[in-house]
Amino acid sequence: MAKLYFRYGAVGSAKTLNLLAVAHQYERQGKRVLVLKPAFDTRFSAVEVVSRAGLHRSADRVLADGEVPPSHIAADADCVLVDEAQFLTEPQVEALRDWTRALGVPVICYGLRADFRSRLFEGSLRLLELADSIEEIKTTCAWCNRKATQNLKYVDGRASIDGPSRQLGAEERYQAVCYRHYREQLDAARDAGEKSADGLGASVAPGGARV
């Protein structure tokens, strides 16, 4: 039976670039690739899969929230690639899992594991439960050379865990950080908020943002 893969990493870890490279390799061999993405992901394009490195390609199907993709769209595919898989719903992940059994086609999903609150996304949780292979795509912390494991969100230049789990953004909003700096930046933002009435300064985030 073909496998379901979940390849996850923090923001900016080249997940989409990895997906595009895999698609290129299959197509160079004359094989058909089916590229999917959730409709929620409109960060760079509503209809394309776009890497921060500038590479892009059209998605073969954009999955609306709640849409369970029919198996016939993958009937002649040699591989299915899914970008931003954290935004998938449980039924969508389960449908992809079933494709590997019923169609014998490998499905490779790329996405974040957890949100800026360090909580699993719905799609990522189900992928962790069902995937045959779970692989981490690594990158380093924005503040040091440790491996980044957390996604830190900034609001008006200050680290924050407020707001809904699903929020689009790139480097202007999110930083990949190790757990040490994740906690330090959240603590600094909390302390700065408490001291702001006294006019005291705050620390400076990567890129010059103040937190």
Is 47 in contact with 36 (CB distance < 8 Å)? no
Lowest mean pLDDT among 3-7, 18-22, 53-57, 107-111: 53-57
Domains and CATH numbers, the chain: 4-136 (3.40.50.300), 150-208 (no CATH)
Lowest mean pLDDT among 61-70, 96-105, 131-140, 154-163: 154-163
Can you say how many angstroms the Cα of residue 93 is from the centroid of all Cα atoms in its chain?
15
Q: Enter the pTM of the model.
A: 0.86
**Residue, of 119 and 46, whose pLDDT is higher:** 119
The pair of three-digit structure tokens given for residue 126, joined into one six-digit string: 């189900």
* Average pLDDT for 51-79: 89
The residues annotated as belonging to the active site are 84
- State what percent of residues in the chain have pLDDT above 70: 86
Q: What is the DSSP string of 144-209?
A: SSSBP-EEEEEETTEEE--S-S-----TTTEEEE-HHHHHHHHHHHHHHHHHGGGT----B-GGG-
Which residue matches tokens 């998605």?
Answer: 59
Can you say how many angstroms the Cα of residue 90 is from the centroid of all Cα atoms in its chain?
16
What mean pLDDT is reported for the chain? 87
The pair of three-digit structure tokens given for residue 53, joined into one six-digit string: 């490195």
3-state SS assignment for residue 76: coil
Q: What is the DSSP string of 111-159?
A: E-SB-TTS-B-HHHHHHHHH-SEEEE---B-SSSSSBP-EEEEEETTEE
Is 149 in contact with 179 (CB distance < 8 Å)? yes
Return d(Cα 39, Cα 7) in angstroms, integer.
Answer: 20
Per-residue DSSP letter, 64? P
| Residue 208 pLDDT > 50 | no
| Residue 98 pLDDT > 90 | yes
| Residue 2 pLDDT > 90 | yes
81-108: buried (b, 16+ CB within 10 Å) or exposed (e) per residue? Answer: bbbbbbbbbeebbebbbebbeebebbbb
How many degrees, rounded to 5, is the angle at CA 162 between CA 167 and CA 115? 50
Lowest mean pLDDT among 77-91, 129-143, 192-206: 192-206
Which residue matches tokens 């160079």?
Answer: 28
